[in-house]
């Protein structure tokens, strides 16, 4: 149980394009979803927190107009990297937590984004 | 959330127990200890969590000291597939709206 699916797992695109990453909780309802970014040889860095039906809360230094987050349902959140540039190349990981207080936070397998 | 301190790296022989320590001396009474691991190029995997009692599941055991200022994650029979970065995180159980914050973790290398 507690499976979080992330899609796509790998994407390569040209500079200036927008990329959408999907995060789904497959067998539980996710009240809260989180988006992280990880650069090579570094730890995960929290980008934003989103609650279903509400606007996302972004961490300091993360541009909300560049990283658009939508959490329209209890099983789906999307991250759109708008007008992507090479410096946005990174490993993006989503995470979800269910409605029950005894459930831990579960993670997707990440999306490796490469901007040429 | 309380800060944790972990050794940057550890080695373990295949088949032996891997004991990964974590210091959390500023932990407060309602904060839980969580352990996750990240295998290269994958998302973090939940291992176990606990408050003050020792916990065991199919993956590992968690031993928390009586004063709760430190804990040890035990992988009883390490395999090559256990090579990963292990993160110890303390936080209030599912505090509404708050995410897990990751430190640098311990890189465990299991060798044959």
Among the residue ranges A54-68, A96-110, B4-18, B76-90, the one predicted with the least confidence is A96-110
Q: How many CA atoms lie within 13 A of B23 on its CB side?
A: 5
Rounded CA gap, A88 and A82, in Å? 10
Q: What is the pLDDT of residue A54?
A: 82
Is the confidence at residue B77, as pLDDT, over 70? yes
Q: What is the pLDDT of residue A1?
A: 65
Is the confidence at residue B94, as pLDDT, over 70? no
Residue A53: both structure tokens together:
């039906």
Mean pLDDT of B96-109: 86
Q: Is the CB of residue A70 less than 8 Å from the CB of residue B6?
A: no
- Nearest residue of chain A to residue B102 (CA atoms): A44
Closest partner CB to B34 (pick from A6, A104, A112): A104
Q: How many CA atoms lie within 13 A of B100 on its CB side?
A: 33
Q: What is the pLDDT of residue B30?
A: 83
Is the confidence at residue A38, as pLDDT, over 70? yes
Contacts (Cβ under 8 Å, ≥6 apart) of A75: A24, A25, A26, A29, A30
Report chain A's terminal Cα–Cα distance, integer Å: 37
Rounded CA gap, B42 and A79, in Å? 18
CB of A111 within 8 Å of a chain B CB? The answer is: no
CB of B40 within 8 Å of a chain A CB? The answer is: no
Q: Write the DSSP symbol of residue B5.
A: B
CB of B3 within 8 Å of a chain A CB? The answer is: no
Rounded CA gap, B38 and B83, in Å? 9
More confident residue, B58 or B41: B58
């Amino acid at each position: 149980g507690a499976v979080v699916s992330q899609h796509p797992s790998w994407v390569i695109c040209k500079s200036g394009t927008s990329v959408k990453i999907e995060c789904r909780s497959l067998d539980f309802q996710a009240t809260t979803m989180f988006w992280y970014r990880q650069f090579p040889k570094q730890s995960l860095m929290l980008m934003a927190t989103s609650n279903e039906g509400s606007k996302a809360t972004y961490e300091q230094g993360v541009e909300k107009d560049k990283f658009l987050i939508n959490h329209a349902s209890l099983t789906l959140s999307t991250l759109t990297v708008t007008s992507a540039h090479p410096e946005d190349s990174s490993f993006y990981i989503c995470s979800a937590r269910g409605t029950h207080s005894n459930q831990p936070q579960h993670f997707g397998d990440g999306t490796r984004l490469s901007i040429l | 959330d309380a800060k944790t301190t972990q050794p940057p790296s550890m080695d373990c022989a295949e088949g032996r127990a891997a004991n990964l320590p974590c210091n959390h001396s500023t932990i407060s009474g309602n904060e839980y200890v969580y352990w996750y691991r990240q295998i290269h190029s994958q998302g973090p995997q939940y291992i176990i969590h606990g408050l003050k009692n020792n916990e065991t599941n199919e993956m590992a055991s968690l031993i928390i000291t009586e004063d709760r200022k430190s804990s040890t994650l035990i992988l009883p029979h390490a395999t090559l597939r256990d090579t990963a970065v292990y993160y110890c995180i303390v936080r209030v159980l599912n505090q509404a709206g708050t995410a897990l914050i990751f430190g640098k973790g311990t890189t465990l290398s299991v060798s044959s």
